[in-house]
Amino acid sequence: MRNWIAQATVAAPPSIGDLDLNSQQNTSDVGICERILGNDLTPMPCNDIDQDGNLTVTDAALMAYCDYWNTYNHPPDSNAVHDHCSFPFIEIINPFDSVTFSIGAVDLVNNTLDIHVKNPNRKILGYELLLSGVQITNVESLYDPIAYPAVPQFAFGTGHLMCLSAVDSLIERGPLYKPLCRVHFMNPEPLICIQEVIDVVNENYHNNLNYLENECVTSTGLSEVALDQGIRVFPNPFSEQTLVSYPPTSGKAVLLERSMQERAVLRDRGCGRFRRFASKRRTWPQAAINTA
C-alpha cells in the first residue's frame, strides 16, 4: 500500500510595486502612471512604494528606477543583484530643493496655456500637477526633447497631468523660469489655475518643496452668454493692451464699448473677418472689459 503525500504550493505574497501580480517588478508595473491618472488604484502597502499614503509620480519613478536597474545596469556575467527594488523606500523631502511652477502664455482663442518651471537647486525627473478651470484634451512637452524625451500623460477631460522620465533623462536646474509643457483644453471657466503641485521627483529620487507663482489667469467680466458665443478677452484686467476675439461675423464691423468705473464709454472698431483686434489702454492705470 502506497502512502501518497500531498504537496501544496503556497504562492509567495506579491512584491511591493508588482501591480500585475506576475511575481516580477518590471516594465509593465511602471504603467502605474496611467492607473494613477485614471484614479484606478487605492494606496495600500503593496503599491505605495514610498509609504506616504498617496500614489503619485514618485511611486511611478521609484518603480521605473527599479526596472531601469533590472534592464540596463548589469553586465551579462554578473549576478544581477542590487537593492533598487527593495521596497518600500522611505519618502525623503529635501528642504533645500525648491521647485516653482507658473502659468506662462495663454491662448484663449486656441485654448492652450503654457506652464513654466523654475528649479534652481536640483534637476527634475518627473512632475505631477492638477489644474482647475479647464478640461485637458492634450499635453505637449516644451522642453528640449533630446535632453528630456519624456511625453506628458493626462486624464482626458480632467485637470490632472503627469510627466516622468523612465530612464535617466532630466530637466536641467536653473534660476530662471523655462517653458515646461503646453496644455490644450476645452470648456474653460472664468478662472483657470494650477490648483496643486501634487509631487515633483528630483534627480536623487527625492521630493522637494513646491511653490506656485502667478498660477491663475482670469477672464473676468465675461458673462456666460458671451463665453457660450465664443467671445474671449485676454488678459483681462489689463494694463497696456488686451486681445479681443470673437466668432466670425460675415465681414461686418464689430463695435466694442468700454466703460471705466461708469465714466466715459470708449469705442474701438474691428473688422469681423479678422475675428480679433487689440484694445489699448487710454489714460487709466488698469482696465477691464465687461460683456453683457
Phi, psi of 54 (to 5 degrees): -135, 150
How much is the average pLDDT of 57-70? 77
pLDDT at 124 over 90: yes
Q: For the chain, first and last CA: distance in Å?
A: 97
DSSP string of 162-217?
A: EEE-SSS--BPPEEEEEEEEEEEEES--SEEEEEEEEEEEETTS-EEEEEESS-EE
Task: Please give the model's pTM, rounded to 2 decimal places.
Answer: 0.68
pLDDT band at 46 (very low <50, low <70, confident <90, very high): confident
Residue 2 has what pLDDT?
A: 42
The 10s digit of each residue's pLDDT in 22-34 is 444 445 445 666 7
Q: 148: how many CB neighbours lie within 10 A of its CB?
A: 18
CA–CA distances in Å: residue 166 to residues 61, 67, 182, 183: 7, 9, 21, 21
DSSP string of 7-31?
A: --PPPPPPPTT-TT-SS--SGGGGG
Among the listed ranges 49-63, 113-127, 151-165, 229-243, which one has the minimum average pLDDT value? 229-243
Residue 68 has what pLDDT?
A: 63
Distance CA 127, CA 99 (A): 10
The 10s digit of each residue's pLDDT in 85-119 is 766 777 789 999 999 999 999 888 889 999 999 99
pLDDT at 15 over 70: no
Domains and CATH numbers, the chain: 13-90 (no CATH), 93-218 (2.60.40.680), 224-280 (no CATH)
Q: How many CA atoms lie within 13 A of 54 on its CB side?
A: 8
